[in-house]
Chain A
Amino acid sequence: MPRKRLDLTFPPRQSLKPVIYHLVKDYDLVPNILRAQIHPAQEGRMVLEVTGTKESYAAGVAFLEGQGLTVSEAASDIVLDQEKCVDCGLCTAVCKPDALTLDPEAQTLVFDKDKCVYCEACVIACPRRAITLSF
């Protein structure tokens, strides 16, 4: 089943729990919150990964928009700047899901974005500041 990453912006004081609940219950989507920035008095941001069929995905997005949320597809991202990276490998020591690993032979950095959970551990670990999160 396809998996998509959504970038949600929602108005202050919007309660998200029922919204997520409806995605599961009424639209048959499996959501996974990757990152959230919620201050009750301010606009909130959330990166949500959803798994489901194409149809339920479209219906789910329409539902979210109907609830007053702004939805865009995966605007936020963990970005690796190859120009800055020196292949030191230090980021691989903090990446628990093994999204960042070293090629066993070449010992160069390999980034498998599908495994990334947006924890940002690598962002502060990289001495070259080669990994950034664009939210």
Chain B
Amino acid sequence: MAKTWEEINARIASGSAVVLTAEEFAAAAADEGVSAAARRVDVVTTGTYGPMCSSGVMINFGHSDPPIKMGEITLNDVPASGGLAAVDTYLGVTEPSRTRGIEYGGAHVIEDLLRGRAVRLRATGPGTDCYPRTEIDTWVTLEDLNQAYFFNPRNAYQNYAVAVNTTDQALYTYLGTLLPRLGNATYCSAGALSPLLNDPTYRTIGVGTRCFVAGAPGYVAWEGTQHNPHPDRDENGVPVRPAGTLAVIADLKQASPEFYSAATFTKYGVSSFMGIGVPIPVLDEDIAATLALTDADLTATIYDYGVQHRSRPSFGTVTYAQLRSGCIEVEGKQVPTGPISSLPVARRIAAELKRWVAEERFTLAPPLQQLPQVGSQSFKPLEVRTGEAI
């Protein structure tokens, strides 16, 4: 029954493709069986909306008169990189403001730009023969910028940790406030809707995959940083810990604040909710079987964030269905849970992407190059060495 990418794309182009979200597909598979659903459905859409710190935008401001070679650059007092050509910069979402700290950072500048607000650009330069100006202070809007595009080195983590805290003090982490003595557990994944949990071995998602990035059509540009195909996998071949990641690229000018929001984690830092969705072609029954997995089949590993080491002790695994029930058991104790990744927005993303594929003829691109597969590379820690040891 195998279908090819070309057959599926032909159906998308003619407007006759059958497209379902991952949740709808799981329900269909439960109803009519995996093989029947695999034959009937062409594309399954996924979505996730969680804080993704490794994100940011590439910007070109255009040249002033006289021109300047920008070195120190700030946007609304948030420093941006001066380490590129004269009027190019990279603004990372986690960069805190010089005046407001983590309550306003790179992510907030990007959200302001997306909402059409003017942003104050200040920069200084060395003054050279070709770029004589040494200072600039002006206002820019998204429309004014020549280019502004997301280039996010690590998004859409394939699974994530469940965080708990066994110490006697509350901890403020990137997974939220962790109450003392196993007072709560937080987790961060769209579960059954999550892009890479629906393609656990990166068969269809690779370099060049067309996807949804914060409301804009974008591409998977490369493997994400920290991409690690190796962690323990369950009997379905799905990782039970953080594993694969994606680097994505998309035009900020086509993005929407509905699918992008700045975030501040108290006593931790700035981040941003990034909406990512990937369409997956139902090529055969193997793919269909993983697409049909539900939150009851997918598991995450519980870690003690009270232990501040690279490898934290684990308390075993739980399913996403248990996490979503609002309470899990850890060490014999009932622990209330709270998500960080928004399921309602993830659902909207999967539904919007479904509309793109079904109605706007958003065709799929087979990978130009595969992401690193199991067995291909090892994931290295950073050792602290001295110069003499080298």
Contact = CB atoms under 8 A, between A and B. Distances in A.
The 6 closest A-B pairs by CB, nearest first: A93-B338, A127-B263, A107-B343, A89-B339, A87-B344, A124-B266
B336 A93 contact: yes
Contacts, number: 71
A93 B263 contact: no
Interface residues of A, number: 20
A89 B261 contact: no
Interface stretch (B119-127, B176-184, B282-290, B299-307): B176-184
Contacts of A108: 344
A102 B207 CA distance: 36
A133 interface: no
B338 A91 contact: yes
Interface residues of B, number: 30
26 contacts: A86-B261, A86-B342, A87-B342, A87-B344, A88-B49, A88-B340, A89-B338, A89-B339, A89-B340, A90-B176, A90-B340, A92-B326, A93-B179, A93-B185, A93-B338, A94-B176, A101-B326, A106-B344, A107-B339, A107-B343, A108-B344, A124-B266, A125-B266, A127-B273, A127-B340, A128-B263
Given A90-B176, A90-B339, A92-B338, A127 B103 contact: no
Contact of B339 (A88, A125, A128, A129): A88
A89 B338 CA distance: 6
A80 interface: no
A94 B186 CA distance: 10
Contacts of A93: 176-177, 179, 184-186, 336-338
A121 B341 contact: no
B356 interface: no
B177 A129 contact: no
B80 to A, nearest CB: 22
Interface in B149-207: 176-177, 179, 184-186
Interface in B42-88: 49-51
A88 B273 contact: yes
